[in-house]
Structure 1
Amino acid sequence: MLILSDFDGTITCADLTNEVWDAHLRYDWRQELLTLSASGQITPFELLRRGYADVDRPADELLALLRPHAGLRPGFEELLSLCARRGWVFHVVSHGLPFYIREFLPPDTAFSCFDAVFDGRWRVTVPEAVQLGPGDDFKIRVLDQLKAATGEAATVYIGDGRLDYPAARRCDRVFAVRGSALDVLCARDGVPCTPFDSFTEVCAALDVGGDRPSGAARAGERSPGRG
């Protein structure tokens, strides 16, 4: 089984990019950037590229800001242990940046995210390992590449945001942070979804009935269609 999880607002209780932008962007980024993103006028990559281009603080200063907000959701280490014990592939897929994901994830946890360098401003790029064509969704591309690389057919997605929805609906089973945008979107479109507050609940649900998700057909086959 292949299990993908979002990072900001899912593994962490707070969205860390939101914390950075709230502290350092001098305009209403929710109004200016999220409106464009929600209407499809800019991609998630363009959203992150534009937002971080106006952040003029280096990684060490941003990490100092983020540490008080970077607590992991309860039960995450339990989920990692369950995956290791059952031989499941666990991978974090995020629209965030590696300077903070690497800092706050447990060591050796695999992840894919955008790349970034700081030269007085943050320059966000798509990693070379992910071939992103026009109109491609980053998280869907990571999902497809991991399925091809691992040979895993059964897929699980864990997330919280609107930008998780395209990849989540392509998976066999979806877990959404209770009350989150992902939870609301799944309910709206009839996509089978299990709400959760802690990863302990996710572990209990996954560890019942073997290593193959049950009770849900592939969401992407039957439903139309920041954290």
Structure 2
Amino acid sequence: MVDIPFHNLNNKNFFLKEDEGTVCVFHCLSGPAKKNPHIVWMAKLKSWAKSKIVLGIRYDLFRILTGEDGDGYNKELREILLKFPSLLVCKEGHTAQNENNLVWKALKKVETQKRVLLSQTPFQNKIKELYNTLCAVSPKIAADLEQKWASLSSSIDKNARALEELRDICSLSVHKYSENVKKVTLAGIRDTIIHLKPTELQKELLKRVPENLGSFYEQNVIL
């Protein structure tokens, strides 16, 4: 278990466990302000931008908040979401495969080049979808290879080597794992607890754990 501070932007309310860093701000807001989703989002985002914590957000909400419409709160929300992420992790990354997809356009505008896109289907029907996925996960590489990709993808039927070259290009950014990856490369199941920011109670309990855990378990086992 890794205990990492987490803000969930999908919720329009604060929850003590996940929004500990912004609760004090929330308590200072008036009743009507607490019901204003833009103010709640802004409080969470400003806390996130100042801290080393994880921010969770749905694709649709990200698309809406990074849209070009509006100013004021909308403009500030958009700037924080596009400029402050240091690492962008996209689950179900195949959600953005079409260049006309608004989510795909929003992801391309994020400034960080450090991106991880998780997908079981990087493309479905068209080679173009694979290039769009590459644009989302590595915009710089995709931009540098745009002309070469277009040339190769248009000659696949005539040039047997073209498909291999496209595969070589993707190998720069794509990491493929088979169904047997857990059996081949991963160690056995281990229970590990990492205390990144232990509470006072956790600190007190940790002091009581001896170096020899075997004797600790023997003394405290319940039969």
TM-score scaled by length of structure 2: 0.27
Indicate the structure with greater helix content.
2
Indicate the structure with greater strand content.
1
| Higher RCO (C-alpha 8 Å, min separation 6) | 1
Max Rg structure: 2
